Amino acid sequence: MWPPRHTHQLEVTVNIAKKGCAVACIVCPQEKLSTTYNLYPDKDRVRDLSFQDFKKIIDKVPLTTRIDFSGYTEPYLNKDCSKMIKYAHDKGHTISVYTTLVGADEKDVDLLLQICKHPDRPFSAFDQENPLCIHLPDEGGVMPVKITSKYKRVLKYLILRAKMLRLNFGSNIRFMTMDTEGKISKEIHDIFPINKIPFSFKAISRASNLDDDEIQMKAPTMQNYEGGVGRRTGKIYCRTNSLLHNVLIPNGDVQLCCMDYGLDAKIGNLLEDSYDDLFKGEGMKYITDRMNDDSLEGDIICRRCENADYEYKSKFNTTTVNMQDTLDVLYRKLSTESKVFYSRFGDGDFEIMKGNRELLHEWSPKLQKELQEAFEISDKNYLKGVMLNEPTFNGTELVHHSPEKYNKITAFIHNNFNNAEDFIYYSHVLLTYMAVKEQDIVVDFLDKFIRPKKKMFIGSVDKRLIEKLVGKIDYYVEVPDKDAYYTMDDWWKKVLDNIDDVDLVIPTAGMAGRVTQKRLWNLNKNIHSIELGSIVDAVVNSKTRGWIKRNRVDFNKLLIED
Ligand code: SF4
Ligand code: SF4
């Protein structure tokens, strides 16, 4: 009979060498780990976990905790690794082993295969229950292991013995590489039965413990690495349940989870404390308090972690205004009121507000904060077009987003803004759809609310060309076409110098546009400010938008005739 599924996991780091794990995979923050640990006082800087200490620790750990031989290093870099595996398994724990086999020999392999045959607690790769995972060298050298004759001999032994014992690859024994497509290093093609395994690897920054620029430099062709997280704000939770999946290091300290290569989050010491103390002690409380309440002093690793997320509850109240009603509201307000803003928040804005470092826009805490402040404005005359609203028009979808993406953004909003229930989401694609499907309405809108106004245009497109769309521009504030926010100190003064001489501001400066509108709103300027969005791209014939290319529409019809 199978034992009950484990409720907790304890990863064992059997060794922290002066230079970190000898395998030195490019996407593993070994430098961070070793630099931090090298600064520990001598008495706390134990390099190898001794079998004696391991035994003392394991004797405290309940059987419902799976023991993982992985941690922050290759487990066979400790000579007692097999002894530890056997002890924990014999005691009744389920075990998992993640290894490159560097440092292992045939006897070590025999023990692993013996556990594969165990009647109650074998390794099983089927459901992540307790896998034996062999990490193979990849074609691109992200795992830069030195392929010695001993390495090849041991790997070959594992393959042949496993076949003799009728063990299955993919079920009893799982293989992985750090290649996006599972391609294996050519150097082992002579001993490994296939050149490519069905495994797709995605590298992460390990709670921003890796330097994105350095990774790009070391592995410029690597397509499977995403930038790390700047800072997750608001109330967060761990979507991988890793508060119960902790990491032991050789001196007995237990770190929060497998992300903590910088050793920032110690939750106890299993040579001194009980296992229960880990979850009831000050270390864990410090973390969970700060996950729940962003206003508490002190930072935590979870705020810069890929696995930190926002809890989605389907009962969130959301008020949306459809495209026709958004148009009606704009017509009504723009013709009767002197202070009206229409701002548009797309997925890039949410990525930055969530703290994600994404490729198209540079993240910074300042931009994140200013965008959040812009999004937080709740006023009947500050109309926020939000991408959560109306993905289709008359059955046509211009840009596809998955429902899961919408849920994630909704969860972010509700865990970050106390006044979220008051928000009204207007259509953010309104003018874009109209430009494609209802050009007469766009022309009418421009004729009534844009062209006759004394105006300021903030953007990077050709002035004469865009004047054919919006009419005479009285003040043109030129900004860079990318990351204009970061030069705002240079051009913001020009906005302020002339703002009192215009009735309308058209920001076409990406996220800097949202920030501009927020600042002007807070300065209480009696103006209209309207984001025209992608129409501007269409008119200047930008190739940046898929929908412009897909919809073969004559945008010249929107322009003022010569
Ligand atoms: S991924 Fe594993 S084998 Fe590679 S450097 Fe990190 S701990 Fe060592
Ligand atoms: S959010 Fe990240 S750092 Fe925090 S417990 Fe989860 S995995 Fe670890």
Ligand 2 pocket check: which of 208, 237, 242, 311 to mutate, most ligand atoms within 8 Å of Cβ? 242
- Axis crossing angle, helix 488-498 with helix 511-522, rounded to the nearest 10: 40
* Phi, psi for residue 491 in degrees, rounded to 5: -105, -10
**CA torsion through residues 150, 152, 155, 158, sign:** negative
State pTM to two decimals: 0.89
Q: How far apart are CA 465 and CA 450, in angstroms?
A: 15
Q: How far apart are CA 58 and CA 87, in angstroms?
A: 9
Provide the pLDDT for residue 181: 87
* Phi, psi for residue 269 in degrees, rounded to 5: -140, 120
For residue 111, the CA-to-ligand 1 centroid distance in Å is 22
Q: Which residue has the tokens 């014992």?
A: 165
Is residue 27 within 8 A of residue 89, CB to CB? The reply is no
* Phi, psi for residue 238 in degrees, rounded to 5: -95, 115
Is residue 514 within 8 A of residue 349, CB to CB? The reply is yes
Provide the pLDDT for residue 397: 67
Is the Cβ atom of 28 under 6 angstroms away from ligand 1? yes
Q: In terms of Cα–Cα distance, which of 29, 6, 44 is closest to 241?
A: 6
Provide the pLDDT for residue 543: 57
For residue 241, the CA-to-ligand 2 centroid distance in Å is 8
For residue 75, the CA-to-ligand 1 centroid distance in Å is 9
Provide the pLDDT for residue 402: 79
For residue 258, the CA-to-ligand 1 centroid distance in Å is 12
Residue 66 neighbours by CB under 8 Å, 6+ apart: 6, 8, 9, 10, 93, 94, 95, 96, 130
Is residue 9 within 8 A of residue 131, CB to CB? The reply is no
Is residue 116 within 8 A of residue 122, CB to CB? The reply is yes
- For the stretch 506-537, pLDDT in tens is 999 999 999 999 999 999 999 999 999 778 87
Is the Cβ atom of 15 under 6 angstroms away from ligand 1? no
Provide the pLDDT for residue 170: 78
- State the distance between the two ends of the chain, measured CA to CA, in whole angstroms: 84
DSSP state of 57: H
Is the Cβ atom of 207 under 6 angstroms away from ligand 2? yes
Is residue 544 within 8 A of residue 508, CB to CB? The reply is no
Pairing of strands 424-427, 396-397: unpaired
The number of beta carbons lying within 10 Å of the beta carbon of residue 346 is 18
Ligand 2 pocket check: which of 289, 291, 301 to mutate, most ligand atoms within 8 Å of Cβ? 301
**Whose atoms come closest to the Cα of 265: which ligand?**
2
H and E: helices and strands count for the chain: 19, 20
DSSP state of 387: T
pLDDT per position in the chain (562 positions), as tens?
555 678 999 999 999 999 999 999 999 999 999 999 999 999 999 999 999 999 999 999 999 999 999 999 999 999 999 999 999 999 999 999 999 999 999 999 999 999 999 988 899 866 567 889 999 999 888 999 899 999 999 999 999 999 999 998 877 899 999 988 899 999 999 998 889 998 888 888 999 999 888 888 887 767 778 778 999 999 999 999 999 999 999 999 999 999 999 999 999 999 999 999 999 999 999 999 999 999 999 999 999 999 999 999 877 778 889 888 999 999 999 999 999 999 999 989 999 999 987 667 889 999 999 999 999 999 999 999 998 876 666 666 666 777 788 889 999 999 999 999 999 999 988 888 888 888 999 999 999 999 999 999 999 999 999 999 999 999 999 999 999 999 999 999 999 999 999 999 999 999 999 999 999 999 999 999 999 977 887 777 655 566 666 667 788 888 888 7
**Whose atoms come closest to the Cα of 72: which ligand?**
1
Residue identifier of the C-alpha nearest atom 6 of ligand 1? 28
For residue 172, the CA-to-ligand 1 centroid distance in Å is 22
Long-range contacts of 118-124 (CB under 8 A, 24+ apart): 118/89, 120/1, 120/2, 120/3, 121/2, 121/3, 121/89, 121/92, 121/93, 121/94, 121/95, 122/172, 123/95, 123/96, 123/97, 123/172, 123/173, 124/171, 124/172
Alpha-carbon distance values, 279 to 38, 211, 263, 270, 450 (Å)? 27, 31, 17, 12, 60
Provide the pLDDT for residue 399: 66
**Whose atoms come closest to the Cα of 256: which ligand?**
2
**CA torsion through residues 250, 253, 258, 262, sign:** negative
For residue 146, the CA-to-ligand 2 centroid distance in Å is 32
Provide the pLDDT for residue 317: 79
Q: How far apart are CA 344 and CA 149, in angstroms?
A: 60
**Please, is 464 exposed, middle or buried when counting C-beta atoms within 10 Å of its C-beta (0-12, 13-18, 19+)?**
exposed
Alpha-carbon distance values, 141 to 138, 221, 225, 268 (Å)? 6, 11, 14, 36
